[in-house]
Amino acid sequence: MERFEVYIFTALCTTNFLIACLLFSKITREQREPYMDEIFHVPQAQKYCEGNFNEWDPMITTLPGLYLVSVGLIKPLVWLAGWTGDVVCSTGMLRFINLLFNCGNLYLLSLIICKLHVKDKAHTTSRRMLLALSLSTFPVLYFFTFLYYTDAGSTFFILFTYLMSLYGSHKTAALFGVGAILFRQTNVIWVAFSAGSVLAQKLDEAWRIERSKKKEEKSPTPIPLSVGGVGRAIIFLFQYMMSPNNIKTLLLTLWPYIAVAIGFLGFVVANGGIVVGDRSSHKACLHFPQLFYFFSFTLMFSIPASISYGQIVSFLHSLKRKPVLHIFTIAVVLLLVWKFTFVHKYLVSDNRHYTFYVWKKIFQRHKLVPYLLVPGYIFAAWNFMETLKSRSVFWNLVFFMCLTVATVPQKLLEFRYFILPYLMFRLHAPLASVLRLLLEFGLYTAVNAVTLYIFVAKTFHWPDSSDVERFMW
């Protein structure tokens, strides 16, 4: 960053942190006691604060990364400040850790954007900063900044992992990847994505070198993102992997990620599965409609940046040019919706989550509704791929593989599972105009204002309980 950029960005971070502190203060005053999953996370972290590392709540399904980082930050602070009593590892103090992660996420997002859009660096300072600010306030992620959940820290470590991989610091990237996995086991997918992005870059370079050797191609053209292009990319991948020299180069580059993968497999074998603690409610299945939910979710939140009149016209022209392909796609999607739609018991039993009302008010309105939504799924998926067509077909293959593995096995429809793939999508999409980014930031701000207001002000009680209940993502 240039010096003036540093000043502007410092002011931006400071303002963002102060606003978050004000919101944090209000939310913590209104909800002093642990809420929802905090009833598991907070007591477990407090046990760690007391030095008791042998007790574990069997209802917790993630590794103890959040608690270890919390204790590692709070204990030195308490010692330096001389604090004693209830403030040490209180619910409020533990929640405050996520505000620090929020600041870190804003900084990491800005660095990743600078790296990914380096060609446009001279003319896009305002756009890069706006995009970083916008993504740091992405509603689902921003909401859980104010509660003691794993999302802010999980995102921080994955963003750090990816940033280090972009700069070629693969050992550092793998180390942060281990930290990410300690926050949430499924983050191993996004560690693999970081490694896969390096592989995609190697394949892009090899493709350019091979094509440039042919005299008829003075400026090598990339493989198009199409059905035929994917086929060509897969064939080229196999050809590339047949070379011992290429394999050696990849192993020398990617061995830190491979070491993480081997360690993770060892954990899975020793643990008897990926989930720690209660596994009865976290069983994997082939829930293919999760992909369609994600594409729809992405379309909704990226409308200001990715949708235009020309985009819609282009989609209609695509329908005319390739009717057979679209008919086949619709048939496949209908089949997947019919045979692979699963409804988790939490989705229909917990009316504190927005997904409960999405399912009840939309999907359960009529048995044909899931099928009537298929054209919308098709458009959302097409727009998703069109937005990423500026990226190489090798990168897209890596991303879509990781996206599928991250979403499809999840039986529960939970918007928090969409945070990382959504951020990766927006980070790699072409930079939008300042106006579009302002509209996106305005959308996120409005959604955040509404959801935080509802959480604080619109409380209710269950018939058989006197506890205060609140609506949330």
Domain membership of residue 110 (yes or no) is: yes
Alpha helices by DSSP H, 36-124:
38-49, 65-81, 91-116
Of the residues 232, 260, 276, which one is the last residue of a structural domain?
276
In whole angstroms, what is the distance from residue 304 CA to residue 153 CA? 27
Query: Based on the domain organization, do 320 and 262 belong to the same domain?
Result: no
d(CA 335, CA 341): 10
Q: Which domain holds residue 191?
A: 165-276
Shared domain check, 177 and 58: no
**One-character DSSP codes across 15-41:** HHHHHHHHHHHHHHHH--S--TTHHHH
Closest CA to 185 of 64, 274, 280, 281: 274
Give the total number of structural domains in the chain: 3
Domain end marker among 417, 432, 447: 432
Cα 173 from chain centroid? Answer: 17
pLDDT in tens, 290-329: 999 999 999 999 999 988 888 899 999 999 998 999 999 9
8 Å CB contact between 152 and 145: yes
Claim to verify: residue 105 and residue 204 sit in the same structural domain: no
Query: Is residue 312 in some structural domain?
Result: yes
Is there a single domain that holds both residue 186 and residue 262? yes
Say if 268 falls within a structural domain.
Answer: yes
pLDDT of residue 355: 95
Q: Is 66 inside a domain boundary?
A: yes
- Residue 26, domain member (yes or no): yes
119 near 35, Cβ under 8 Å?
A: no
Last residue of a domain, one of 276, 306, 324: 276
Report pLDDT for 437.
Answer: 94
Average pLDDT over residues 211-234: 75
- What are 175-209's pLDDT values in tens digits? 999 999 999 999 999 999 999 999 999 999 988 88
- The answer on 402 and 350 residing in a single domain is yes
Q: What tokens appear for 341 in the block?
A: 């739609």
Per-residue confidence (pLDDT) for residue 35, from 0 to 100: 94
Looking at every residue in the chain, the average pLDDT score rounds to 91
Tens of pLDDT, residue by residue over 140-150, are 999 999 999 99
The answer to whether residues 190 and 319 belong to one domain is no
326, 381: one domain = yes
> Do 74 and 30 sit in the same domain of this protein?
yes
Q: Write the DSSP symbol of residue 118.
A: G
The span from the CA of 180 to the CA of 169, in Å, is 16
Residues 264, 181 contacting (CB under 8 angstroms): yes
At CA 387, angle to CA 382 and CA 390, rounded to 5? 125
Do residues 355 and 415 touch, judged by C-beta distance below 8 A?
yes
* Same-domain check for residues 145 and 170: no
Residue 230 covered by a domain: yes
Mark whether 288 and 371 lie in a shared domain.
yes
- pLDDT-based confidence at 82, cuts 50/70/90? low
Q: For residues 73-100, give the mean pLDDT.
A: 81
Residue 78 pLDDT level (bands cut at 50, 70, 90): confident
Residues 19, 116 within the same domain = yes
Question: For residue 128, what are its two tokens?
Answer: 């890069």
Domain assignment present for residue 351? The answer is: yes
User: Are 76 and 122 within 8 A, CB to CB?
Assistant: no
Q: Which of 191, 6, 198 is nearest to 110 (CA)?
A: 6
Residue linked to tokens 């001279």? 122
Q: Tell me what pLDDT residue 169 has.
A: 95
Backbone angles phi, psi at 101, to 5 degrees: -65, -35
Q: How far is 203 from 221, CA to CA, in rounded Å? A: 14
* Cα–Cα nearest to 346, from 281, 275, 418, 258: 281
Residues 259 and 287 occupy one common structural domain: no
Task: With residue 379 as reference, give the H or E element that holds it.
Answer: helix 374-387
pLDDT at 85: 56
Looking at residue 87, what is its pLDDT?
A: 63
- Among 166, 147, 156, 247, smallest CA distance to 206 is for 247
Report pLDDT digits (tens) over 224-278: 888 888 888 899 989 888 889 989 999 999 999 999 999 999 999 999 889 887 7
Interacting residues of 181 by C-beta distance below 8 A, sequence separation 6+ = 63, 65, 187, 188, 191, 260, 264
Task: Identify whether the C-beta of residue 410 lies closer than 8 Å to the C-beta of residue 287.
Answer: yes
Averaged pLDDT, 116-125: 71
CA quadruple 38, 41, 47, 48: dihedral, nearest 10: -140
Give the residue from 27, 140, 135 showing the smallest Cα distance to 453. 27
Q: Are the C-beta atoms of 37 and 45 separated by less than 8 Å?
A: no
**Alpha-carbon separation of residue 153 from 67, 187, 413, 420, 461 (angstroms):** 11, 11, 21, 12, 31
For residue 284, name the pLDDT band (cuts at 50, 70, 90): confident
* Distance in angstroms (rounded) separating the CA atoms of residues 173 and 194: 8
In a domain, 303, yes or no: yes
* Tally of CB atoms within 10 A around 317: 10
pLDDT tens digits, 1-17: 566 677 788 888 889 99
Provide the token pair at 339. Answer: 């045979």
For residues 104-131, average pLDDT: 85
Q: Which residue type sits at 125?
A: T
Q: What is the rounded distance in angstroms from the CA atom of residue 332 to the CA atom of residue 335? A: 5
Q: Residues 202, 209: contact at Cβ < 8 Å?
A: no
